Structure 1
Amino acid sequence: MNDTAMTSVVRYDVGADKIATITFDDPSSAANTMSARFKQDFADVLDRLAADVADGSVLGAIVASAKDSFFAGGNVKALLEVGPADAERLYNDSLALKATLRRMETIGVPVVSAINGAALGGGYELCLATHHRIAVEDRKVQIGLPEVTLGLLAGAGGVVRTVRKFGVFKAINEILTTGTRFTVAAALDKGLIDEVVGSQDDLLPAARAWLLAHAGDADASVQPWDRPGYRIPGGAATDRAISSMLPGVPGNVRKAAKGVPYPAPRAIISAAVEGAQVDFAGAEQIEARYFVNLATGQVAKAMIQAFFFDMQRASGGGDRPAGYETRPVTKLAVLGAGMMGAGIAYASASAGIEVVLKDVTLEAAERGKAYSEKLLAKAQERGKITAEKAAQVLGRITPTADVDALVGCDGVVEAVFEDAELKKKLFAEIEGVVAPDALLGSNTSTLPITDLAEGVSRQSDFIGMHFFSPADKMPIVEVIRGAKTTDETLARTIDFVLQIRKIPIVVNDSRGFYTSRIIGVRINEGLAMIAEGVAPWTVERATLQAGYPVGALQLCDELNLELMAKVAAANKAGAEAEGRAWVEKPGAAVVPAMVAAGRAGRLRGAGFYDYDDAGVRQGIWVGLSDLFPVAAAQVSFRDAQDRLLFAEALEAAKCFEEGVIESAAAANIGAIMAIGFPGITGGPATFMTNYEGGLAGFVARADLLADAYGERFRASDWLRAKAASGEGFPA
Structure 2
Amino acid sequence: MTDAIRYHKDQDNIVVLTIDMPGQSANTMNAVYREAMAATVDRLEAEKDSIAGVIITSAKKTFFAGGDLNELIKVTKADASNFYHMVLGIKAQLRRLELLGKPVVAAINGAALGGGWEICLACHQRIALDNSSVQIGLPEVTLGLLPGGGGVVRMVRLLGLEKALPYLAEGKKARPDAALKAGLIHQLATDKDDMMAKARAWINANPDAKQPWDTPGYKIPGGTPASPNVAQMLAIAPSVLRDKTKGCFPAPEKIMCAAVEGAQVDFDTAQLIETRYFTELTTGQVAKNMIGTFWFQLNEINAGGSRPKGFAPSVTRRVGVLGAGMMGAGIAYVSAAAGIEVVLKDVSLQAAEKGKAYSATLLDKKVSRGHMSAEKRDAFLALIKPSDNEADFAGCDLIIEAVFEDRELKAKVTAAAEQHALSDAVIASNTSTLPITGLAKAVAKAEKFIGLHFFSPVDKMPLVEIIRGEHTSDETLARAFDYVMQIKKTPIVVNDRRGFFTSRVFGTFTNEGIAMLGEGVSAALIENEARKAGMPVGPLAISDEVSMSLMNHVRQQSIKDLAAEGKQLPEHKAFAVIDMMLNEYKRPGKAAGGGFYEYPQGAKKHLWPELKARFEQASAQISQQDVRDRILFIQAIETVRCLEEGVLTSVADANVGSIFGIGFAAWTGGTLQFINQYGVQDFVARAEYLAQQYGERFNPPALLLDKAAKGEAF
Q: Please say if 1:37 is aligned against 2:37.
A: no
Taking the aligned partners of 2:555 and 2:601, their CA distance within structure 1 comes to 30
Structure 2 counterpart of 1:16? 11
Taking the aligned partners of 2:569 and 2:387, their CA distance within structure 1 comes to 43
Taking the aligned partners of 2:406 and 2:182, their CA distance within structure 1 comes to 50
Structure 1 counterpart of 2:178? 186
Q: Please say if 1:157 is aligned against 2:150.
A: yes
3-state SS of the aligned residue for 2:173?
coil
**Is contact 2:26-2:60 (8 Å) kept?**
yes
Aligned-pair CA distance for 1:400: 0.9
**Is contact 2:136-2:173 (8 Å) kept?**
yes
**Is contact 1:260-1:544 (8 Å) kept?**
no
Structure 2 counterpart of 1:459? 446
Q: Please say if 1:632 is aligned against 2:624.
A: no
Structure 1 counterpart of 2:711? 726
What does residue range 286-301 of structure 1 map to in structure 2 within 5 Å? Answer: 286-301=273-288
Listed one character per residue, the Cα deviations across residues 469-488 of structure 1 (whole Å, up to 9, x for unaligned) are 11122111101111111111
Taking the aligned partners of 1:142 and 1:486, their CA distance within structure 2 comes to 40
- In structure 1, which of residues 280, 298, 313 is the aligned counterpart of residue 267 of structure 2? 280
Structure 2 counterpart of 1:562? 549
Listed one character per residue, the Cα deviations across residues 231-254 of structure 1 (whole Å, up to 9, x for unaligned) are 111112233443343221111222
Structure 2 counterpart of 1:702? 687
Aligned-pair CA distance for 1:617: 4.3
Taking the aligned partners of 2:74 and 2:601, their CA distance within structure 1 comes to 54
Give the TM-score taking structure 1 as reference length.
Answer: 0.96
Aligned-pair CA distance for 1:361: 1.2
Amino acid at match of 2:191: S
Structure 2 counterpart of 1:338? 325
Listed one character per residue, the Cα deviations across residues 657-709 of structure 1 (whole Å, up to 9, x for unaligned) are 00101111111111111111010110001111111xx2111111111111221
3-state SS of the aligned residue for 2:344?
strand
Q: Please say if 1:713 is aligned against 2:705.
A: no
Q: Please say if 1:46 is aligned against 2:41.
A: yes
- More displaced stretch, 152-161 vs 698-707: 698-707
**Is contact 1:609-1:617 (8 Å) kept?**
no
What does residue range 467-506 of structure 1 map to in structure 2 within 5 Å? Answer: 467-506=454-493
Aligned-pair CA distance for 1:315: 3.0
Listed one character per residue, the Cα deviations across residues 76-114 of structure 1 (whole Å, up to 9, x for unaligned) are 122221211111011101111110110111111111111
- More displaced stretch, 567-576 vs 236-245: 236-245
**Is contact 1:163-1:272 (8 Å) kept?**
yes
Taking the aligned partners of 2:673 and 2:132, their CA distance within structure 1 comes to 33
Amino acid at match of 1:228: P
Percent of matched pairs sharing the same residue: 50
**Is contact 1:235-1:242 (8 Å) kept?**
yes
Structure 2 counterpart of 1:27? 22
Q: Please say if 1:235 is aligned against 2:223.
A: yes
Aligned-pair CA distance for 1:197: 1.8
Q: Please say if 1:212 is aligned against 2:204.
A: yes
Taking the aligned partners of 1:71 and 1:471, their CA distance within structure 2 comes to 32
Structure 1 counterpart of 2:316? 329
3-state SS of the aligned residue for 1:472?
coil
Aligned-pair CA distance for 1:285: 0.7
3-state SS of the aligned residue for 2:357?
helix
Taking the aligned partners of 1:671 and 1:718, their CA distance within structure 2 comes to 19
**Is contact 1:160-1:272 (8 Å) kept?**
yes
Taking the aligned partners of 1:171 and 1:25, their CA distance within structure 2 comes to 30
Compared CA separation, residues 289 and 319, structure 1 to 2 (3 A):
same
Compared CA separation, residues 241 and 625, structure 1 to 2 (3 A):
closer
Aligned-pair CA distance for 1:574: 2.4
**Is contact 2:519-2:620 (8 Å) kept?**
no
Taking the aligned partners of 2:382 and 2:561, their CA distance within structure 1 comes to 42
- More displaced stretch, 316-325 vs 354-363: 316-325
Aligned-pair CA distance for 1:43: 1.2
Taking the aligned partners of 1:126 and 1:414, their CA distance within structure 2 comes to 50
Taking the aligned partners of 1:512 and 1:80, their CA distance within structure 2 comes to 34
Structure 2 counterpart of 1:654? 641
**Is contact 1:532-1:631 (8 Å) kept?**
no
- In structure 1, which of residues 79, 84, 87 is the aligned counterpart of residue 80 of structure 2? 87
3-state SS of the aligned residue for 1:383?
coil
Taking the aligned partners of 1:472 and 1:238, their CA distance within structure 2 comes to 43
Taking the aligned partners of 2:566 and 2:131, their CA distance within structure 1 comes to 58
3-state SS of the aligned residue for 1:485?
coil
Aligned-pair CA distance for 1:463: 0.7
Aligned-pair CA distance for 1:59: 0.8
Structure 1 gaps of 5+ residues are: 1-5
3-state SS of the aligned residue for 2:594?
coil
Q: Please say if 1:549 is aligned against 2:536.
A: yes
3-state SS of the aligned residue for 1:242?
helix
**Is contact 2:167-2:173 (8 Å) kept?**
no
Taking the aligned partners of 1:690 and 1:538, their CA distance within structure 2 comes to 25
Aligned-pair CA distance for 1:256: 3.1
- More displaced stretch, 378-387 vs 645-654: 378-387
Compared CA separation, residues 310 and 160, structure 1 to 2 (3 A):
same
Aligned-pair CA distance for 1:404: 1.3
Listed one character per residue, the Cα deviations across residues 630-670 of structure 1 (whole Å, up to 9, x for unaligned) are 33341110110010000000000001000101111111111
Compared CA separation, residues 190 and 514, structure 1 to 2 (3 A):
same
Compared CA separation, residues 97 and 482, structure 1 to 2 (3 A):
same
Compared CA separation, residues 464 and 260, structure 1 to 2 (3 A):
farther
Aligned-pair CA distance for 1:459: 1.2
Compared CA separation, residues 573 and 356, structure 1 to 2 (3 A):
same
Q: Please say if 1:66 is aligned against 2:59.
A: yes
Give the TM-score taking structure 2 as reference length.
Answer: 0.98
3-state SS of the aligned residue for 1:712?
helix
Aligned residues: 713
Taking the aligned partners of 1:285 and 1:674, their CA distance within structure 2 comes to 39
Structure 2 counterpart of 1:253? 241
Taking the aligned partners of 2:307 and 2:205, their CA distance within structure 1 comes to 52
Aligned-pair CA distance for 1:325: 1.1
Listed one character per residue, the Cα deviations across residues 423-452 of structure 1 (whole Å, up to 9, x for unaligned) are 111121121211111111111100111111
Structure 2 counterpart of 1:3? none
- In structure 2, which of residues 109, 114, 127 is the aligned counterpart of residue 121 of structure 1? 114
3-state SS of the aligned residue for 1:431?
helix
- In structure 1, which of residues 100, 104, 112 is the aligned counterpart of residue 97 of structure 2? 104
Structure 2 counterpart of 1:316? 303
Q: Please say if 1:536 is aligned against 2:529.
A: no
- In structure 2, which of residues 124, 136, 143 is the aligned counterpart of residue 131 of structure 1? 124
- In structure 2, which of residues 503, 507, 526 is the aligned counterpart of residue 520 of structure 1? 507
- More displaced stretch, 395-404 vs 246-255: 246-255
- In structure 2, which of residues 649, 652, 660 is the aligned counterpart of residue 665 of structure 1? 652
Taking the aligned partners of 2:647 and 2:542, their CA distance within structure 1 comes to 25
Compared CA separation, residues 242 and 375, structure 1 to 2 (3 A):
closer
3-state SS of the aligned residue for 1:474?
coil
**Is contact 2:399-2:417 (8 Å) kept?**
no
